[in-house]
Amino acid sequence: MKRALLVALLLAMALAAGIFFLTRRTAPALASVPEPDVAPLPESGPNAVKLSYVELAASPHRSEQPGATQVFGWITRGDDQRPVEGGKLRLWLEDYSMHEGTAVELHATQRVDRGFRMATVQDDGGWYVDLPGRCWIQSVEFTPRPEVESLDFGAFWAGDQDAGNAVITSETRHNGRSKLVRTIVAIDRPLERDALEVTFAASPGIQARGLVFDGPVAQPIQGADVILLSLRSGELLATTDANGGFELSGIDPDDLTPEHGMLTFRAQAKGYRSEKRQVAWEPGQPCIPAFKVVLVPKSP
């Protein structure tokens, strides 16, 4: 009995050694790539909105219209709390100035079609909208001023052109994007007279961060392009630094198009085979998890 067990053990060891030998011969060895040393992104809390009624004379943009009302305020950045420099603001409201009764009574009994007024955000983050009279203020929608850099098509070549596998940028590729995204805050209160101050923070959007490594030597790759493909408006690109790190910022969650709960990225660098990477993300998730991409050099 003991002899039979010993023979079986020896056969199992021989079989394991044979499988290990075949694996070593058929699969190229990749060096162990360390996990990305990227700090987790903080979760974004609810957008605090300051609402207060004031006398129209206390507004920094006093209206001279008799019986006028006004909505005004300031917009700060949600990341560093500095004033927002420019942008457009759309104020959604129900206008009851031509009806008898208060805005509260009319809003509860007879609705009118909602409309909007536009305002320009100044460089100090200030804005105001003059209104004709009784209104029910629904919400404020802020759209940041575009900060898109000029496209440099030569910088987006990847691969060997002679081999016919070069990747060329599309016209929808953005080399830069505003770090603020469209922000909507709910107001849902009446304005009968004087002014309503509405001050809030614009959302900086969400980020995607990670590292790109050379697989065989486990070294970071500088100058690799990481492209977010799952966007309605086009593609968003970032280039890795000397440590192989990249950061895509100012991503509008409403612009993302996950498939089966996954976002698709592509990493590419000269002399390497491009690699697609899928990262889990669901609508409402406050950030995109940090990830790494391992690239393998092209065969000589």
Cβ partners under 8 Å of residue 65, min gap 6: 130, 132
- Give the domains, in start order, of the chain with CATH numbers: 49-144+180-202 (2.60.40.1120), 150-177+206-300 (2.60.40.1120)
DSSP state letter for 257: -
* pTM value surpassing 0.75: no
Tell me the average pLDDT of the chain: 78
Give 71-94 pLDDT, tens digit per residue: 999 999 887 889 999 999 999 999
- Could you read off the pLDDT tens digit of each residue along the chain, which spans 300 residues? 555 555 555 555 655 555 444 444 444 455 555 544 444 433 434 457 899 998 887 788 766 666 688 999 999 988 788 999 999 999 999 999 888 889 999 999 888 888 999 999 999 999 999 998 889 999 999 998 875 443 333 333 333 333 333 333 333 334 444 578 889 899 999 998 889 999 999 988 888 999 999 988 889 999 999 999 999 888 889 999 999 999 988 888 888 999 999 999 999 999 999 999 999 999 888 789 999 999 999 887
Give 182-204 pLDDT, tens digit per residue: 898 999 999 988 899 999 999 88
275 contacts 291 by C-beta, under 8 angstroms: no
Question: What is the residue-wise DSSP string for 194-208?
Answer: EEEEEEEEE---EEE
